[in-house]
Amino acid sequence: MAQESQQLPAVHEAWLPREHALHRPRHGGRQLIALICAVVFFASPTLMWVFGARPAEIENRRLTGFPSLADGWGFFTGLASWGTDQLVFRPWAISAADGISEMIFGESAPHDQSGTNNSGPLPGSAPPAGATTPAPSNGGSGPLDQAGYRQVVEGSDGWLYYGLDAEAKCAPTRPLPETIARISELRNIVESSGRKFVWVVPPDKSTMVPQHLPSSYPGKECQQEAQAPTWAALDSAGIVDVRAGLQEAERQVGRAVYPPDDTHWSAEGGLVMAAALANAVQPGVTQTWTFNAIGSYTGSADLPPLLGKHGDKMEVVYDLRPDGVNDRAGKLIDIDTPAVTNVPPVTGQVSQKTLVYGDSFTKASSRYLQGAFSNLTMLSFSSNKISQDQAIQQFVDSDVVVLETVERNVSGSYLPFLSDDMLNALRTTLSAHPLN
């Protein structure tokens, strides 16, 4: 007698008796709800886009671009960041989370607990995305769990500080002596080609206005321990130190020269740096300078968006008359590509062809740098809009190279131009194009 074949029941497993080993209950209702939620989640952004809604740059950085297939596995890992940035309702979701948190817990939702690397108010204020850096090193002191740092440290009286100020000192990507040694190598390369080299370091807001910092925050202890040694090492390296000038400007205007909710200095800081650099290149050149406040405007502060909020800052606008007569102050300009100003010089201006190779503090000061230098090129060292060869060409075309690096970028060594490849290429090219 033929053996009876074993077959699955001819009915759906949900219709089998509960006692049957293959019985599986239906979850039709739950499945339908899940399906509806999925359709709403994925279809809503698309419909909002069709009717004109667009994702906003709520974190003071450019939205993440669609990853390239040339990135290999990076294509898949980059999809999450791109997808998050493309959610047009994200600002409302953050506001809703804040409202719920305020109502239940009495405080804003913590949007910034994932650390600060590869993020920041403006390009150049933090490590460039995708940069290859050595393992964190802080000599065995201070926390190394970078997820514990805050993007924004909330201080007293509504003051906000950029969390990278602390993280950079507590968990640098390379030790400070090595960073300074590499910048000294850069100085050697530039000066050996017959060009002048000047290095200026704008201090962090937490350095100049520490009185509003909270009593406790991640990294406070090691940040404070590193403060004095950092500046001693920088001064020994021959930087242009603008701290005294900033303190004098603060005394004259009767307020801090850093806004409460922005990490960059105000116009007074830009004037101080422009004057200090002009004097470093041509001592005494600013003796004929005059400048006066001529107005003000309200702009967006860069730290509240990192908390999912919006904040405004008031900026005073100054003229700058190097010869006491002609106003040579320019406009705030983008420096992701070489920003060139070339006008006939007047008394009080440096006329040598000058490159300011810097970060977001160069951009924040660009109005007054244009008044100090008649033949000026400004370029962000974190820009991904030009090639390395194009950046090096700006060095070749200059008589004076000014390096501007905010304190946290030096402390954390968030300086992509210090790579062996860049330094070697600079050495080769500048030695082949010396100044006569």
160-184 residue pLDDT tens: 999 999 999 999 999 999 999 999 9
Is residue 8 a part of any domain in this protein?
A: no
For residue 280, the model assigns a pLDDT of 98
* Amino acid (1-letter code) at residue 23: H
| Element of type H or E holding 179 | helix 176-192
Q: What span, in angstroms and rounded, lies between the C-alpha atoms of 48 and 423?
A: 48
- Average the pLDDT over 390-395 and give the result: 98
| Dist CA 42 CA 403 (whole Å) | 47
Tens of pLDDT along 20-77?
A: 777 776 665 666 777 787 777 666 666 666 666 666 655 445 566 667 776 666 666 6
| pLDDT value, residue 436 | 76
Is residue 184 in some structural domain? yes
Q: Which residue has the higher pLDDT, 50 or 331?
A: 331
The pTM score is: 0.74
218: left (phi over 0), alpha (psi -120 to 50) or beta: beta
- Is pLDDT larger for residue 81 or for residue 421? 421
What share of the chain in percent tops pLDDT 70? 71
Is residue 333 included in any domain, yes or no? yes
Q: What integer pLDDT is reported at residue 241 of this predicted model? A: 98
Integer Cα distance of 154 and 309 in angstroms: 13
| pLDDT value of residue 132 | 34
pLDDT at 30: 65
Pick the range with the lowest mean pLDDT from 34-43, 131-140, 147-156, 403-412.
131-140
In a domain, 142, yes or no: no
Asked if residue 233 belongs to a domain, the reply is yes
Structural domain containing residue 304 = 147-212+226-432
Handedness of CA 299, 301, 305, 308 (dihedral sign): negative
**Residue 64 vs residue 373, higher pLDDT:** 373
195 within a domain of the structure (yes/no): yes
Asked if the model's pLDDT at residue 378 lies above 60, the reply is: yes
Among left, alpha and beta (phi > 0; psi -120 to 50; other), residue 140 is left
Bridge partners of residue 403, in order along the sequence = 199, 357
Q: What's the total number of domains in the chain?
A: 1
Q: Is the pLDDT of residue 417 over 60?
A: yes
302, with CB counted inside 10 A (0-12, 13-18, 19+), is buried
**How many helices (H) and strands (E) in the chain?**
14, 9
For residue 188, tell me if it sits in a domain: yes
Question: What token pair was written down for 275?
Answer: 């004057």
Residue 170 located in a structural domain:
yes
Is 227 a residue whose pLDDT tops 70?
yes
- Closest listed residue to residue 233, CA positions, set 289, 176, 297, 275: 176
